[in-house]
């Protein structure tokens, strides 16, 4: 099968030619002074999009290497940890927490819903022993978000550590690591940033480092170790292992573009794209997956499918017949996702996604009003831009 005409997937996303040129730059030795400078600059730029003065670690691997490494670093046997579950990634975090030996507490809601700050507050009031709260800021598989802006400060004020999976959250929602007091954040490059898929962006607060250093089980001399990066690279200027020079170059190119556009402008662009997409989907007669719009993410729009239409079938049809790569729900439910992340957040990319989805559903026998949907989406876009 040929390459798709359009990739509107939930990550890795289509990236710009400038980011690709970054990835394709000549590979330098990792200890070349030029690359060392690049690495340090790139760390600083990650700090800017995370809005933090915390340490930044660029761990080489998919974001999950940062998530696992960080959680293993923080968790001690028997530690009471509250995990918020509103999707498959949150659920998976819980399995890890239990595996790693903590005492697992969970607030779980339907995967089309969101845990509220009120629920968290009530739970913490009842369970003053909780020492860490874990949450997924943006549940990519189902397209819902958690209100980190309120849960973060709530934890900080109570002296509770926060472990935040913001893989698809950063640049897809307003983000204030320091203002919200977030201790450990793990972001991905291949989502709203439009960067390469092979690098994990981790921020670690002073308080998190204290917890990690106090933890004898925290990975050391390991690919999963945060301490290695802290001591060897940040401390002594030696890499714990060879970083992926190409991924760092691609990452820097993506960061440069985001910073030139402005962090707030990038977030606003994602929100605008989400509004256009949702407007079109509704006018087409489709139902949003999220139970209420306030918790729908700005990076993907999840559409609830009728029970008799399997989401994989729809996705395969859109790809094979119309050359558009969409995503399904990775187990979150019978949904299909129209992504608007990175360079495909904005403008007529939403029309492409809606057209591919609408026509695929029609081909498969679902009643949809394609014309009304596309017209409404374009109307919303026009209203935004004029």
Binding-site positions read: 337
Q: Which of 143, 146, 150 is nearest to 115 (CA)?
A: 146
Q: Is 115 in the site for a second copy (CB under 8 A)?
A: no
Of 62 and 121, nearer to a second copy (C-beta) is 62
What mask of x and - would describe binding to a second copy in positions 252 to 291, judged by CB under 8 A?
----------------------------------------
Q: Is 321 in the site for a second copy (CB under 8 A)?
A: yes
Residue 21 gets the label, from left (phi > 0), alpha (psi -120 to 50) or beta, of alpha
Q: Among 255, 352, 357, 361, which residue interacts with a second copy (rule: CB under 8 A)?
A: 352
Interface with a second copy by CB under 8 A: which range of 126-134, 172-180, 300-308, 357-365?
A: 357-365
CA distances from 162 to 7, 115, 185, 290, 348 (A): 34, 15, 8, 25, 38
Interface with a second copy by CB under 8 A: which range of 101-109, 153-161, 202-210, 342-350?
A: 342-350
Interface with a second copy by CB under 8 A: which range of 131-139, 148-156, 264-272, 346-354?
A: 346-354
Of 37 and 122, nearer to a second copy (C-beta) is 37
Q: Is 358 in the site for a second copy (CB under 8 A)?
A: yes
CA distances from 47 to 18, 106, 138, 209, 386 (A): 21, 30, 19, 17, 34
Of 159 and 365, nearer to a second copy (C-beta) is 365
Instruction: Check: CB of residue 229 under 8 Å from CB of residue 57.
Output: yes
Q: Among 49, 151, 182, 224, which residue interacts with a second copy (rule: CB under 8 A)?
A: 224
Cα(359)–Cα(374) distance, rounded to whole angstroms?
A: 11
Q: Among 44, 126, 222, 293, which residue interacts with a second copy (rule: CB under 8 A)?
A: 222
What mask of x and - would describe binding to a second copy in positions 64 to 93, judged by CB under 8 A?
xx--xx------------------------
Q: Among 6, 89, 111, 175, which residue interacts with a second copy (rule: CB under 8 A)?
A: 6
Tell me, by CB under 8 A, how many residues bind a second copy. Answer: 86
């Amino acid at each position: 099968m040929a390459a798709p005409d359009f990739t509107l997937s939930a990550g890795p996303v289509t990236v710009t030619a400038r980011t690709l040129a970054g990835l394709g730059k000549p590979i330098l030795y990792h200890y070349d002074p030029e690359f060392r400078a690049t690495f340090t600059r790139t760390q600083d730029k990650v700090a800017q999009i995370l809005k933090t003065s915390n340490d930044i670690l660029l761990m080489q691997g998919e974001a999950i290497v940062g998530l696992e490494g960080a959680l293993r670093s923080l968790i001690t046997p028997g530690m009471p940890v509250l995990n918020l579950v509103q999707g498959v990634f949150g659920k998976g975090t819980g399995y890890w927490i239990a595996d790693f030996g903590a005492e697992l507490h969970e607030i779980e809601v339907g995967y089309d819903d969101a845990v509220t700050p009120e629920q968290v507050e009530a739970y913490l009031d009842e369970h003053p022993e909780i020492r860490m709260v874990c949450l997924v800021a943006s549940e990519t598989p189902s397209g819902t978000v958690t209100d980190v802006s309120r849960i973060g400060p709530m934890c900080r004020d109570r002296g509770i550590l926060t472990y935040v999976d913001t893989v698809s959250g950063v640049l897809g929602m307003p983000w204030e690591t320091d203002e919200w007091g977030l201790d450990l954040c793990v972001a991905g490059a291949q989502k709203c940033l439009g960067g390469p898929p092979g690098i994990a962006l981790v921020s670690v607060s002073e308080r998190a480092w204290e917890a990690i250093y106090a933890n004898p089980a925290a990975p050391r001399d390991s690919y999963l170790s945060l301490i290695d990066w802290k001591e060897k690279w940040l401390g002594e200027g030696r890499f714990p292992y060879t970083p992926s020079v190409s991924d760092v170059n691609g990452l820097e190119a993506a960061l440069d573009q985001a910073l030139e556009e402005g962090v707030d402008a990038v977030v606003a662009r994602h929100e605008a794209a989400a509004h256009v997409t949702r407007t079109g989907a509704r006018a087409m007669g489709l139902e949003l997956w999220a139970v209420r719009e306030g918790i729908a993410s700005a990076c993907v729009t999840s559409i609830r499918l009728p029970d008799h239409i399997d989401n994989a079938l729809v996705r395969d049809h859109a790809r094979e017949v119309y050359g558009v790569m969409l995503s399904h729900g990775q187990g979150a439910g019978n949904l299909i996702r129209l992504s608007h992340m990175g360079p495909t957040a904005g403008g007529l990319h939403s029309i492409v996604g809606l057209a591919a989805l609408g026509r695929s559903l029609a081909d498969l026998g679902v009643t949809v009003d394609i014309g009304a949907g596309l017209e409404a989406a374009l109307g919303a876009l026009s209203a935004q831009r004029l």
